[in-house]
Structure 1
């Protein structure tokens, strides 16, 4: 099974995060319930028999295991029935990033009650027949974590499918060229995709028991670390080659610097963002310059729509820009909202964006977009030069 660490967000096949715990890998088959989220909810320790000693195991293990199996089957069946649309839509629409301590109480109304979205969602599920959540209140958080992890893997799979090549190294290179350093957190997802889709490369051997037995990694840790080292080598080579290309094909008249961005007016900045997002692979649609309801442009990729509010400022960007993005997201029914500026954000704007799930791109992050844009110009220039060679 594959897990995502709730602490560092990296993925792993181990039952204890190798990064959060250093080189210490837990010999236990128990997943640390507050640390790791399995892609398959049946791998939570709640559904695994816990040893109580030799004599008690001999007398009661069979009966308790049967009870756990019944509970697991009921939970998995109801989760499968309610995952679409309830669980999936809840993780995409909730404004809560984690559960509150009061969420684990008895379901239902209470005197002068203030109810979190999770409490209300739990009641929705209970009324739909998921009565196990009454006796296992912590189960809801675990199922939500698993749902979010499944959503991440689904998006990852769609992207990775475009990078599969005949060989392992060229597949990794194609993926890393686009994904950058995310390979460090997503390499386990990469291997899991290969296994799930029967993509085989020489030298990679998966353990067939890993998908049914807790504590057995799909790929041994030494083999996983060897793969990570290969990725680092490929990434290093990509960076060296990119720098060589930049030096060889550098044309200051074509490149866009942050100083040129600072000199743009509002309309020029919006038009330039259209070029930026188109260059890095998004479909882009500009809005009309009047009555845009807080939207400057829309971008879409992999089936998700995002509304963008552009702010070319000399001072800090405050709450108003974030509020405009929130309103535009709701008005146009977009999946995400973003504010992009050549400046920085006030603390209040950052806090509001975190609460509302609005992505903020400040001057430093915009510089990263500029670097990608300029790199694409180099690649286009180099391709044209090769055609005429």
Structure 2
């Protein structure tokens, strides 16, 4: 008809195909971070067998994003005998959940509250002489204390020059009935290199501190120095107990031991479209399609902890295949190029999961983002639903 503008026909994707229909129950699904409890339990058993030491399961940062209490329960099932937290609020959370294992809190980002520690039946690590004096001054009863020595991190712990003053005060306070010195701890700065020579200065410093404590009559002591990487690679760091955090959830910073990934992140397709060649994708149009293709959108973004900038290799798994992430990750969304396959809304994608499937691992995501797996896993935000299997 006169005045009518013809609508151009877009070139279609060759061999366009419809992907698998959404599984039953996936319609209305939300982005979800799944905890595999059995993996945590298996990892603790692996580490106990390899080290021969007692294990403190460090469930800081909300159990590396997977849930403080469920990760703690799974670790105890695997034979962990202690639990470690950074903040006394987490210690109280464990106690309210009915967990009775010994708990140590040592970083105190919310401040050192001696009464709260006693109420939560939680051991306190003290990393300054004045912190130890605070425990003495505020103790409503006998407080259990671990002396935290700086053995090379300069990130916490009593500086070496102050160790004699620390031991003197600890012995006097223990004799006065204010506290009981239960443990001695330190940390190693380069254990992830899997090179015992790099640990040697820290191990020797810790040994000096231990000899000093014994000379002041502070014995017996529960000694713990090595975290996951050191525990798995250097017997000299193990002492009586090892502190395992990342290893609980399948991350070995030394990359020497096969552990099971405990986290799997999934999200449904929320939008799907076919686009022509030359389509600019996302903010800034940093990706331009080179041919007609299908795009799927997932409702996850940097507000949920996914890195905004990724290498071109970044991908997710949908329908048993890997599909590339294209364009910049937005605050609430990310775009996936699915090529000739059109996936219906509600189809579940796996962003990361265990090795041995088509899904990327959290280690791959860390490499794509130029960071470490801890950042990816622990950074998944609170909008993402958590489940336990």
Q: Do the structures match in fold with TM over 0.5? A: no
Q: Which has the larger Rg?
A: 2
Q: Could you say which TM-score interval applies, normalised by the shorter chain?
A: under 0.3
TM-score normalised according to structure 1 size: 0.22
**Structure 1 or 2: larger strand share?**
2
**Structure 1 or 2: larger helix share?**
1
